[in-house]
């Protein structure tokens, strides 16, 4: 018999490897003096993640840029760990624990699935991309998600009739305002554009009459952001629109509110605070993992959002890729709890 290859055997192998490594280091007084640069880098990484809210936005919106990709800073931890091992530095190894613990404190909760069964309303949102080569296929794919309420962003005037025809058999009610639209199995009323200070319509509001009562649903596509060498993270127009959207939601008379759309920003980004301070992210409350949605080819950030107020999220997930450069996202909500 070969003794098997289960977890116990692998664990014993790791323990033997650790003992060999420690034996090689034992008695070497340089293990505390080596790797000081690596240790300093580890401490700096921990401070950046821990104090990201203190990084100023005055220069190139550096704070918002850092917060947009903050989860990815965790990838530097195993790199620093490998360098510490290669350098045979006890000081660096201890220092690497700091960013590891900070990252786990910030994002460890997202690693455990919080999805549950139940709920009585499924919602979805998708930036369909103005240059989508297959709008019919995209409409078919998002309708297949089972969403009761579906928001689409980046609609062009020529594509709107295509989506209307493709979704007509699934959704009896729909409304389009500018470049955003809402499709619903339940009646819509109070449809109007929402001014997010752009000069054209990229946000709307509607009342959805669900069997559990009326809900205010907002659909928004905040302005795009860019990273430019000279200007840094150009997000001022996005930030202004986020403030205006936050004001509109704060003035909403209905208690239960859903926001669907492309925020062009993550929940970590302080610039979206006017919205995020008064609403919950379904991914953070009931998702599994980070739920990155953009770019579809290699998702690096969740900028497509489903936020709620006065509603309990039950589950949240990303849908398969369509002809867009964004992934659709969906959530199941419980309207009887709040």
**Residue keyed to tokens 């995020």:** 276
Q: In the beta sheet, which residues pair with residue 258?
A: 217, 308
- What mean pLDDT is predicted for residues 48-60? 92
Q: At what angle do helices 90-107 and 36-50 cross, to 10 degrees?
A: 10
Q: What is residue 334's predicted lDDT score, i.e. its pLDDT?
A: 97
In this structure, are residues 163 and 150 in contact, taking their beta carbons and an 8 Å threshold?
no
The model's confidence at residue 112, banded by pLDDT at 50, 70 and 90, is confident
The model's confidence at residue 32, banded by pLDDT at 50, 70 and 90, is confident
14 has pLDDT over 70: no
Q: What is residue 26's predicted lDDT score, i.e. its pLDDT?
A: 61
Q: What is the pLDDT of residues 241-298, one digit of tens each?
A: 999 999 999 999 999 999 999 999 999 999 999 999 999 999 999 999 999 999 999 9
Closest CA to 277 of 250, 310, 311: 250
The model's confidence at residue 60, banded by pLDDT at 50, 70 and 90, is confident
Q: Which residues contact 36 (CB under 8 A, 6 or more apart)?
A: 89, 91, 92
The model's confidence at residue 74, banded by pLDDT at 50, 70 and 90, is very high
Tell me which range, 27-31, 85-89, 173-177, is most confidently predicted by mean pLDDT: 173-177
Region label for 319, one of left (φ > 0), alpha (ψ between -120 and 50) or beta (otherwise): beta
For residues 204 and 217, what is the distance between their CA atoms, to the nearest angstrom? 8
For residues 256 and 273, what is the distance between their CA atoms, to the nearest angstrom? 19
Q: What is residue 59's predicted lDDT score, i.e. its pLDDT?
A: 82
144 has pLDDT over 50: yes
Q: What is residue 234's predicted lDDT score, i.e. its pLDDT?
A: 77
The model's confidence at residue 111, banded by pLDDT at 50, 70 and 90, is confident
Which segments within 141-244 are labelled E, that is strand? 149-153, 173-177, 180-184, 188-193, 203-210, 213-221, 226-228, 232-234
Q: What is residue 15's predicted lDDT score, i.e. its pLDDT?
A: 65
Strands 180-184 and 329-334: unpaired
30 has pLDDT over 90: no
Q: What is the value of pTM for the model shown?
A: 0.89
Closest CA to 123 of 327, 334, 284, 288: 334
**Residue keyed to tokens 């500018």:** 178
Q: Which two tokens stand for residue 310?
A: 């006065």
Greater pLDDT, 147 or 88: 147
Number of Cβ within 10 Å of residue 214's Cβ equals: 16
Closest CA to 127 of 331, 334, 333, 329: 329
The model's confidence at residue 233, banded by pLDDT at 50, 70 and 90, is confident
Please tell me whether the peptide bond between 295 and the residue prior to it is cis, using omega within 30 degrees of 0: yes
1 has pLDDT over 50: no
Fold entry, domain 121-334? Deoxyribonuclease I; Chain A (3.60.10)
Domain locations along the chain: 7-111, 121-334
In this structure, are residues 168 and 136 in contact, taking their beta carbons and an 8 Å threshold?
no
Q: What is the pLDDT of residues 117-126, one digit of tens each?
A: 999 999 999 9
Q: What is residue 323's predicted lDDT score, i.e. its pLDDT?
A: 96
Strands 121-127 and 149-153: parallel
């Amino acid at each position: 018999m070969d003794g098997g290859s289960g977890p116990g055997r692998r664990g014993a192998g790791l323990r033997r490897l650790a003992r060999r490594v420690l034996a090689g280091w034992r008695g070497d007084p340089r293990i505390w003096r080596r790797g000081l640069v690596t240790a300093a880098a580890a401490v700096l990484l921990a401070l950046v993640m821990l104090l990201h809210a203190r990084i100023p936005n005055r220069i190139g919106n550096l704070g918002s840029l850092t917060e947009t990709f903050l989860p990815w800073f965790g990838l530097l931890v195993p790199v620093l760990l490998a360098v510490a091992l290669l350098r045979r530095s006890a000081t660096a190894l201890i220092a690497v624990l700091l960013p590891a613990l900070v990252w786990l404190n910030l994002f460890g909760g997202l690693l455990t699935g919080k999805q549950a069964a139940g709920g009585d309303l499924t919602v979805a949102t998708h930036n369909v991309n103005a240059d989508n080569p297959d709008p019919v296929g995209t409409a078919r794919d998002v309708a297949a998600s089972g969403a009761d309420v579906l928001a689409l962003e980046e609609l062009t005037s020529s594509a709107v009739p295509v989506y209307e025809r493709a979704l007509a058999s699934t959704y009896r009610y729909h409304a389009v305002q500018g470049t955003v639209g809402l499709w619903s199995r339940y009646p819509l009323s109070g449809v109007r554009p929402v001014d997010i200070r752009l000069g054209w319509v990229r946000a709307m509001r509607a009342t959805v009459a669900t069997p559990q009562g009326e809900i205010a649903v907002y659909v928004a596509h905040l302005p795009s952001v860019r990273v430019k060498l000279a200007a840094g993270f150009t997000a001022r127009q996005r930030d202004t629109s986020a403030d205006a959207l936050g004001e509109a939601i704060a003035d909403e008379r209905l208690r239960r509110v859903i926001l669907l759309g492309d925020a062009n920003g993550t929940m970590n980004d302080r610039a979206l605070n006017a919205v995020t301070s008064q609403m919950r992210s379904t991914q953070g409350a009931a998702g599994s993992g980070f739920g990155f949605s953009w770019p579809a080819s290699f998702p690096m950030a969740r900028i497509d959002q489903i936020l709620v107020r006065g509603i309990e999220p039950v589950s949240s997930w990303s849908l398969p890729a369509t002809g867009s450069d964004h992934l659709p996202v969906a959530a199941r909500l419980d309207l009887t709890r709040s």
